[in-house]
Amino acid sequence: DIQMTQSPSSLSASIGDRVTITCRASHSISTFLNWYQQRPGKAPNLLIYDASTLQSGVPSRFSGSGSGTDFTLTISSLQPEDFATYYCHQSYSTRGTFGQGTKVEVK
């Protein structure tokens, strides 16, 4: 199995801050890396796929980068609606696996 490790598990930030979340895969996954945002009580929502491609309708303040084993999700200027939990997910292997999540909280 490919293990996905996110860091940090939580962070506190203010409106307007630049936020970076990292995800590391236990094996190379090329760019088969996706990011989701989950608000409380809601289903996850796809933000970025193929490591850096913004899903339709997602604000441009979200960006992704990386390949192989190391990946990053960046929010350039945090907005009130961005306080949520973020998950990375690898779709390289048939058995897709998720990171444990990063909760972005109000500072």
Establish if 52 lies at the interface with another protein (CB under 8 A): no
Establish if 49 lies at the interface with another protein (CB under 8 A): yes
Q: Determine the residue type at 23.
A: C
Establish if 74 lies at the interface with another protein (CB under 8 A): no
Closer CB to another protein, 17 or 72, in the complex:
72
- The conformation of residue 55, written as its DSSP 8-state character, comes to P
Residue 61: left if φ>0, alpha if ψ -120 to 50, beta else—which one? Answer: alpha
Distance, CA of 76 to CA of 98 (rounded, Å): 23
Number of Cα atoms under 13 Å in the Cβ half of residue 19: 29
Binding test (CB under 8 A) with another protein, winner from 16, 60, 80, 94: 94
Nearest distance, CB of residue 77 and another protein, angstroms: 24
What does the binding site for another protein look like in residue numbers (CB under 8 A)?
Answer: 1, 31-32, 34, 36, 42-46, 49-50, 53, 55, 87, 89, 91-92, 94-101
